[in-house]
């Protein structure tokens, strides 16, 4: 893989300890990482930790190592600057164009993408000064992540938590592959995303499930939320994925629960992304007590059909019950067979389901399920077809969200 130069700026907040995991993840991905903390960051985490993790010396001031002119060179040479955590004070200094330490000087000289991952108390995040500073940085082209909600230091909780290091690393990788992948262009858009697999209960301990990991849907929710959308994620069973920052997560088990959750949230949504692997059938009967093996030969499991949630949403919109709904996205996992290839089946599915966009994955041979990389096609109801080049599920998500954003822009 392409080895990039990443600067990890660390400002002085308690979340500075999470920057250690971020540095670790970026170096393990093969990148050349240099840590530039502020002096206050070093009151939380020692320079030795950052030096050991990055393999490079750590300085905070512009008068260290002067012959190397680091206050100019570090920023100039970088492929990406990630500031995590970005405190209210650091954001303010970045907006003011200050250069009173090595990190702010680096921000002034960087010509590469800059990603700020804010972390602070809710009051500070919501203060008009910070709100304006974030808007200014975004207007200048920086990516400022939405913080996560949850426990902050002390007893309080609310928006202001640093997104998980893995999430920051994923979005950093996305910016490295495509610097313009995260415009803040979806404010005011309400998006409903379903993800993961459903589980159809047979008895209190058994179910019929599937191999969906939820990664693709989670990536769509994450990217859309970071582009400014208000995202509700209806999550079935996943591979233990952490909630994406800034996303409301509703948990469901079975296809029926998923259908009910979509019915509840769809009237408010402008976009529905159906990436969940919804079981087509469920056991006709739920046995309230554990089925015993007994001495008899096993009985057959009789199945009954589940509602098609995607087709149901398309129908409701056509009947005028979802006046806010502008874009409906379906997913298709296809193998191709004697009747036709993957795209042949996908075109048929798009027509049958009546959605606006269909994301098509070729499956089988270990592709698509439970893996991190993926490829496929994006088919539009207008006949548009584009290949989704091989890449991470986050890269694919960003292309899917691009296509949704384009439809919204075109007045969908
Ligand atoms: N889907 C749904 N409700 C179901 C089954 C599927 O909403 N009960 C949605 C999935 O979330 C996905 C799309 O429909 O967006 C495609 O699902 P798939 O199972 O591949 O399509 P089917 O029409 O069931 O076709 P087939 O099983 O013949 O491939």
- The residue written with tokens 């200048």 in the block is 140
The pLDDT tens digits of the residues spanning 384-403 come to 999 998 899 999 999 999 99
Residue 1 pLDDT: 59
More confident residue, 65 or 197: 197
Residue 389 pLDDT: 87
Residue 368 confidence (pLDDT) above 70: no
Question: Ligand 1 mean position to 140 CA, how many Å?
Answer: 42
| CB burial of residue 319 (10 Å; 0-12, 13-18, 19+) | exposed
Structure tokens of 383? 């006949």
For the chain, give the mean pLDDT. Answer: 94
Residue 93 pLDDT: 98
66-70, 173-177, 253-257: segment of lowest average pLDDT:
66-70
Residue 335 pLDDT: 85
Whether this prediction's pTM lies above 0.85 is answered by yes
Which of 278, 336, 341 to mutate for ligand 1's pocket (most ligand atoms within 8 Å of CB)?
278
**Which ligand 1 atom is the nearest neighbour of the CA of 352?**
23
62-71, 177-186, 368-377: segment of lowest average pLDDT:
368-377
Which of 200, 306, 331, 333 to mutate for ligand 1's pocket (most ligand atoms within 8 Å of CB)?
331
- Domain architecture of the chain: domains with CATH: 5-177 (3.40.50.1950), 190-409 (3.40.50.10300)
Which of the four pLDDT bands, split at 50, 70 and 90, describes residue 268?
Answer: very high
- The residue written with tokens 């087709």 in the block is 311
The pLDDT tens digits of the residues spanning 300-310 come to 999 999 999 99
Residue 44 confidence (pLDDT) above 90: yes
64-73, 89-98, 161-170, 219-228: segment of lowest average pLDDT:
64-73
> Could you give the percent of the chain with pLDDT greater than 70?
97
Whether 210 is catalytic: yes
Q: Considering only CA atoms, which residue is closest to atom 6 of ligand 1?
A: 278
Long-range contacts of residues 318-323, Cβ cutoff 8 Å, at least 24 apart: 318/354, 321/267, 322/266, 322/267, 322/269
The DSSP H or E segment spanning 154 is: none
Cβ atoms of 166 and 140 within 8 Å: the answer is no
Residue 408 confidence (pLDDT) above 80: yes
Which of the four pLDDT bands, split at 50, 70 and 90, describes residue 370?
Answer: low
Q: Which of 151-160, 208-217, 356-365 has the largest mean confidence? A: 208-217
Residue 151 pLDDT: 75
Residue 8 pLDDT: 98
Q: Which of 1-5, 18-22, 330-334 has the largest mean confidence? A: 18-22
Radius of gyration, alpha carbons of the chain: 24
Which of the four pLDDT bands, split at 50, 70 and 90, describes residue 153?
Answer: confident
Question: What's 198's DSSP letter?
Answer: -
- The residue written with tokens 């966009």 in the block is 357
> Could you give the percent of the chain with pLDDT greater than 90?
85
Residue 238 confidence (pLDDT) above 70: yes
3-state secondary structure of 118: strand
**Which ligand 1 atom is the nearest neighbour of the CA of 280?**
8
Question: Ligand 1 mean position to 386 CA, how many Å?
Answer: 21
Residue 295 confidence (pLDDT) above 90: no
């Amino acid at each position: 893989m392409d080895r990039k130069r990443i600067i990890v700026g660390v400002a002085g907040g308690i979340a500075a300890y999470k920057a250690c995991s971020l540095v670790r993840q970026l170096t393990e991905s093969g990148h050349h990482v240099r840590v530039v903390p502020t002096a206050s960051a070093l009151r939380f985490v020692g320079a030795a930790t950052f030096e050991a993790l990055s393999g490079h010396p750590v300085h905070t001031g512009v008068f260290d190592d002067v012959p190397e002119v680091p206050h100019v060179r570090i920023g100039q040479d970088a492929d990406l600057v990630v500031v995590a955590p970005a405190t209210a004070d650091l954001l303010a200094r970045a907006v003011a164009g200050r250069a009173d330490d090595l990190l702010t000087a680096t921000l002034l000289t960087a010509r590469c993408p800059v990603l700020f991952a804010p972390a602070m108390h809710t009051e500070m995040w919501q203060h008009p000064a910070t709100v304006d500073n974030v808007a200014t940085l975004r207007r200048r082209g920086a990516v400022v992540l939405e913080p996560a909600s949850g426990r902050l230091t002390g007893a309080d909780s609310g928006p202001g938590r640093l997104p998980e290091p893995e999430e920051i690393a994923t979005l950093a990788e996305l910016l490295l592959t495509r610097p313009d992948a995260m415009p803040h262009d979806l404010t005011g858009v309400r998006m409903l995303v379903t993800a993961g697999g459903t589980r159809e209960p047979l008895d209190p301990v058994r179910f019929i499930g599937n191999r969906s990991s939820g990664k693709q849907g989670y990536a769509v929710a994450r990217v859309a939320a970071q582009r400014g959308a208000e995202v509700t994620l209806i999550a079935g069973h996943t591979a233990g994925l952490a909630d994406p920052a800034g996303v409301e997560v509703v948990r469901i088990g079975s296809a029926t629960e998923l259908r009910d959750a979509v019915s509840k949230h769809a009237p408010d949504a402008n976009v529905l992304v159906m990436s969940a692997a919804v079981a087509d059938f469920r056991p006709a009967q739920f046995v309230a007590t554990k089925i015993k093996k007994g001495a008899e030969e096993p009985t057959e499991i009789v199945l009954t059909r589940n509602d098609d949630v995607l087709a149901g949403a398309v129908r409701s919109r056509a009947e005028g019950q979802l006046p806010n709904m502008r874009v409906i996205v379906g997913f298709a996992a296809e193998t191709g067979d004697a009747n036709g290839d993957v795209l042949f089946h996908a075109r048929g599915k798009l027509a049958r389901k009546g959605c606006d966009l269909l994301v098509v994955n070729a499956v089988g041979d270990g592709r698509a399920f439970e893996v991190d990389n993926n490829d496929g096609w994006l088919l539009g109801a207008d006949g548009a077809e584009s290949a989704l080049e091989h890449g991470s599920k986050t890269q694919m998500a960003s292309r899917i969200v691009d296509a949704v954003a384009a439809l919204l822009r075109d007045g969908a």
